[in-house]
Structure 1
């Protein structure tokens, strides 16, 4: 078995391939999914239903909710440039802010606002009376009883990215590969995923923005955070508590051993987790004492999306198709980068420099050698993530690389330096110097931890008094900025039609349901 100490050449020998030209980057597409809590002016969770003007969250293609009725999720179409993706994300934010009840704001941080200590005060998303809608709510109920509803109020941002077939064809020809083209493409995407996992610590240091939490989030939980004041807990050198033991990870999934070396192996691993009963979840029961279902099943995963990973291979699922069926039938269409905290200083949750950096990193991970990834190396990656989550800005922090402890700063700078030619190629395709500027900015942050977003969050929280005041202050600023912006009459009309259409689609789905939910659920189970 190949372990980390054998991987001395994983990124060490990276050179930009001679076959790669800037024109081959024309097929790249990117889309953004951004979550955010609706809150009241006192920084507590909004209890109002999803704003009517935004349409049906069950069927609207761009505006929905994630776990809670209060947790909005905004989804862009795939776009040809990062600026276009951010432009659409901004349009969705303007729409949302104009539709919010007068006294509501969008919470700008990944870690939640002030929460009630009663889980039932965090409302589950309600998708209506159709069987599909009820199943979506039941899935969320299951997450709540398994992990607690508080954990489900954490918000993040997913950056979705695909590369054009021209790039894969040129690569396939350049190395004279005899492998079937579809398999070749899947293998290259999986190589990107394995390398991104190896580089997760870099992303958490550079883009992490959750070094602290509101006291209500950890009330009654064991933790080793330090009290900043009576309402904020933190770690002095933390970067992204969201991605650590307190956030979107759970011990149940730590030993699943879902591997990314071959697509059938990944699909089988996920399916095994969905079919395998879990003793603790079985004890919770499938139904409550009145016979009302409270979780879809008592297995390790209720559905495939319950698997938490910093990155996922994705294919667009057709109606009635599961994510793994889509992958099995049509291969990997794009990758979903999930280890990204909301940037609280951006009114849309991510700035252009971060988007450009993620694209350079993705290209670097795609083109670098990517040895197979086994549990022993996964454990070392886990060690690196925990170190950077909790102490990423600590002077002289080390991470494991090739089985050795190396200084985090020099490890990051070495990789960022190798990314520069790729940034230049992306700039050559798009025009301008956004990508090179982004990498230079990240090099600055790698050498100066005080310039990271996580350092800024802590310093501003201390200056203002606590994390809650920072959150409310930024939420108000963002709202003012977004309400000053207007959509063109055509764009406004387009979104109004979409909202109306989504409501009609939900009504059609509900009308066409002839099976009772109990029968539907029994068949699903």
Structure 2
């Protein structure tokens, strides 16, 4: 049954929109004052990258990941991330955070130190997994940074949907998973709109130029796409041809788990050629298409909080989907924390639109169209003549974007007082209307204008903005500094305790861990 706002309002469901929960995971490269990738280990003042709840590392020692708890008020989430940035900046010595998704100039993979997580078995798994990524995709690709946006409806909201649909014969777990997968399918249909409006990676360092052709040279160094929006999400970034051929289904939780299990257990000849060991040192966890669940690259993933040592695929099977993780967010260099309020407001509204629009299963033909839309918009999104596929026909992307933004505006009007965020959502829609009228107002448009007008190289652009952000946070007084300091100290103790309690040899632990996939 198709959902609509009238039914949601009459059922009382819309009253639960205030309980939407949001969380952010923001990656940033540490660089020296000249914009070179840091060669230093993860700072001791930030605690243990293995056990700190708020500050960890992603791929490399230099790639920080700042993690917020979940909040039902957007501003609370942004305030927490701002305080976290303040603490990190004030802890760094002669270093800054690179503000762009596409990295600084990196001569070779050897400059990138793979993340270290101590001597515990769980820590070794994290390090070896990253070694595997390096051998499979190269370390430079793993230096690309972004933001993950985690989004969930309240259980009460989904129970109301269950009542509206008359799905009393289904378990709540099944209904919840169906709701999230319906949203995820529609997000795949409309993600191009997000890239157009918020993509912020139209340029890159010449150290990445061996991967692509057809881009314009910046006179002082670097390359850019004249109409590009989010090159991070294309051939330059998190794209794997091997994974591209997987076609992991999001039509049902059972299909998703079945396809994911296949990727976790099926060996791939290219990774078998790399091997699990090099001179008796383990360099991959295994030779499967993906070593663990996190290696699966997608713009949106169904997720559930997973206890340490457990396998996410098993938790998803037994407990169902708990939230959606959006992985398509570029760092916004015009915000000191890499993301602005209107971005989150837009994503919330887009996800609500994805909820109320009909979401049929994705077939092979439509998936092919959507991949092509993705490719076109990240590479040529700001071209006024760009055509994309909609309902199996090619249409003008800008006209379709206007139509969808109008629908989002109408949704805001219908929601009325049901969400405490409504005024911010309306403001965000108006901002997007202005961007569509003038694409130079998009982050990618502003960056290209800055590069061309000021004659800045990709490197100089990043260093200049990083320096501004660093100055801002050096003079910013956060309210959570004591909490972050306490967490850093506790995380160091926690890692030491984990290491002192180990009994199994690593190979036995790994075997047990890999065999947990059922």
TM-score tier (shorter): over 0.9
| Contact 1:274–1:300 (CA under 8 A) maintained in structure 2 | yes
- Confirm whether residue 88 of structure 1 aligns to residue 88 of structure 2: no
Q: Does 1:387 align with 2:376?
A: yes
Cα distance change on mapping 1:293 and 1:427 into 2, 3 Å = farther
Tell me, yes or no, if structure 1 residue 412 matches structure 2 residue 401: yes
Pick from 66, 70, 81: which aligns with 1:78? 70
Q: Distance in 1 between matches of 2:405 and 2:5?
A: 13
1:359 to 2:351 alignment: no
Tell me if structure 1 keeps the 8 A contact 2:263–2:288: yes
Aligned partner of 1:137 among 127, 132, 157: 127
Offset, 1:14: 8.4
**Cα shift readout 1:10-44 (whole Å, capped 9, x = no counterpart):** 9xx98533333542212210000100000011111
Does the Cα contact within 8 Å between 2:212 and 2:236 map onto a contact in 1?
no
Distance 1:214 1:426 in 2: 46
Quick check: 2:100–2:201 contact (8 Å CA) kept in 1? yes
CA distance in 2, matches of 1:378, 1:198: 9
Partner of 2:46: 54
Structure 2 partner of 1:25: 17
| Structure 1 segments (4+ residues) deviating >6 Å | none
Answer yes or no: is 1:121 the counterpart of 2:83: no
Which of 495, 507, 510 is residue 484 of structure 2 equivalent to?
Answer: 495
Alignment of 1:184-333 (within 5 A): 184-218=175-209, 220-288=210-278, 290-333=279-322
CA distance in 1, matches of 2:26, 2:411: 27
Alpha-carbon offset, residue 361 of structure 1? 0.6
> Aligned runs of 1:393-432 on 2, under 5 Å?
393-424=382-413, 425=415, 428-430=418-420
The answer on whether the counterparts of 1:44 and 1:114 sit within 8 Å (CA) in structure 2 is yes
Q: Return 5+ residue gaps in structure 2 as ranges.
A: none
Provide TM-score, normalisation by structure 1. 0.94
1:92 & 1:464 partners in 2: Cα distance? 33
How far residue 287 of structure 1 moved from its aligned partner, in angstroms, is 0.6
Aligned to 1:6: none
**One of 461, 466, 471 as aligned partner of 1:470:** 461
* Paired residues of 2:220 and 2:455 also in contact (CA < 8 A): no
Tell me the CA shift for residue 54 of structure 1.
0.9
Aligned residues: 508
Give, in angstroms, the shift of residue 516 of structure 1: 2.6
- Corresponding position of 1:34: 26
Give deviations 1:53-88, integer Å, cap 9, x for gaps.
111010001110000100000010000111011011
Q: CA RMSD in A?
A: 1.7
CA offset digits 1:146-175 (Å, max 9, x no partner): 000000000000111100122212222223
